[in-house]
Structure 1
Amino acid sequence: MPFAEGNEKAGEKLFKTRCASCHTVEKGGSSKTGPNLNGLFGRVSGQGTDSFSYSDASKKAAVSWGEQTLFDYLENPKKFMPGTKMAFGGLKKDKDRNDLITYLKKSTS
């Protein structure tokens, strides 16, 4: 299924409950267990945040992050990118992924 614009407010709630313990989105924000996501769209996996130690899988995948790649990745990160350090099990519902990505597009640019 392709990405479709979602509900930004619902995506913000999802980010706060499912992602914020490991990621930040603010420009100049620190990395936590996962990298800061500011400037995510158009960035290549394994690059972008000098202070974060990316997995070899993320570096080798060289995925350009956009709406569709995030939509596919967030369904099941370990299946999409075997060897990733991301412990997140994924968002199975298309609506949840659409909402989260819509929020990320606004909050990380």
Structure 2
Amino acid sequence: MRLVQSALIALAVGASTALASPASAETPRGPGQVVAFTHEFTPLEVWKDPQGCQSLPAGTHLIFNQTDKVITIYADPLCFVPIDPFAKVKPGYGTHVSAVGSFKA
């Protein structure tokens, strides 16, 4: 009888532990980064935890938002003219940008 009780207790403890901390639980993400692609012959430009207005390198073609917040894309280097209706880029998304543009995080 004790063996059965011990087995049931071990089973209950194992089940409650599995429910309390599932293996597939996501870990919190940090602020992240914004990545710009210009062309195949230059390295990617990366801004870690960007703040405020950031000018893009001349000729930038694509931008990727890997932060945890929406960023705004602008057609000018000083963050004055948003590229509407596609100015807002959600986390995990990317977009084509102006070759002389900027973004604000």
TM range, smaller chain:
under 0.3
* Structure that is richer in helix per residue: 1
Larger radius of gyration: 2
* Structure that is richer in strand per residue: 2
| TM-score of the two chains, using structure 2 as the length reference | 0.27
Structure with more contact order per residue of length (Cα contacts < 8 Å, sep ≥ 6):
1
| TM-score of the two chains, using structure 1 as the length reference | 0.26
